[in-house]
Amino acid sequence: MWTWFYKLASPPYVYAAAAALLPWFCTLALVTIGYGLVDGLAFAPPDYQQGDAFRIIYVHAPSAWMSLFAYTTMAVAGAIALIWRIKIGHAVAAATAPIGASFTLLALITGSLWGRPMWGTYWAWDPRLTSELILLFLYVGVMSLRSAFEDPARGDRAAALLAIVGVVNVPIIHYSVVWWNSLHQAATVAKLGKPEMSASMLVPLLSMLLGFMLFFGAVLCMRLQGEVLNRERQARWIREAVK
């Protein structure tokens, strides 16, 4: 029953799949991000309260979403590796961490630049901002822990454990604007079936979100290929792969 699962997770299969998917992810990411940028910057109308500053949403919201998505991916991959002892899970987790950390940093920078004209400050110890900053620390912690051990297998296990424990921060970030009083605005897009944005603003935002996801896929494919090569360099199939 589980044969397909293990076949899917075999390093040569993953290496080949990453190579095959990479050009698709790159092309589609370019198209969707390009469309989102042009539509969001040039054609979407200014917000009636925030004016043109609202356009920051086209990079802020996708990077914030991706910071959570990448962390969840990393934790799930770590859990799969720990529970089923599937080594490729550790490779996926290791490849995801720097991408997720960079998206988190971008979300914090763009949020801070948005906060200055809207809230009058670059930073506030607000539940949403603070929990997102903790997410960045978690990413840094996971990456540091992985490289802190001489034995890479122990580093992988320790990093996977920290990633799994830290995943509790993901719902805290998402619901922080509901559970506590927050300067940060509540969800405007994630309300299923009834987003509080007009279509002319929403379409470029969804295009940017899709583009960032595809971009994440493209960079993950590149990093994953490196991780697999690094971890499987003794394997026989590597000879063909690096020719």
Rule CB under 8 A: is residue 144 a binding residue for other proteins? no
Q: How far is the CB of 10 from other proteins (least distance, A)?
A: 17
User: Out of 38, 117, 178, 185, which residue is the one contacting other proteins (CB under 8 A)?
Assistant: 117
Burial of 3 (0-12, 13-18, 19+ CB in 10 A): exposed
Which residues, at least 6 apart from 110, have a Cβ–Cβ distance to it below 8 Å? 56, 59, 60, 63
Facing residues of 51 across strands?
A: 47
User: Out of 106, 129, 136, 163, which residue is the one contacting other proteins (CB under 8 A)?
Assistant: 106
Q: How far is the CB of 6 from other proteins (least distance, A)?
A: 23
Crossing angle for the helix pair 127-148 and 57-84, nearest 10 degrees?
A: 40
Burial of 62 (0-12, 13-18, 19+ CB in 10 A): buried
- Residues numbered 157 to 196 that lie near other proteins (CB under 8 A) are none
Q: How far apart are the first and last CA of the chain?
A: 34
Given a contact cutoff of 8 angstroms between Cβ atoms, the answer to whether 228 and 91 are in contact is: yes
Binding window for other proteins (CB under 8 A); candidates: 75-83, 100-108, 188-196, 197-205: 100-108
In the bound state with other proteins, the residue whose beta carbon lies nearer, of 54 and 82, is 54
Interface positions with other proteins (CB under 8 A)? 37, 41-42, 46, 51-53, 55-56, 59-60, 63, 98-99, 102-103, 105-106, 109-110, 113-114, 116-117, 215, 218-219, 222-223, 225-227, 229-230, 233-234, 238-239, 241-242
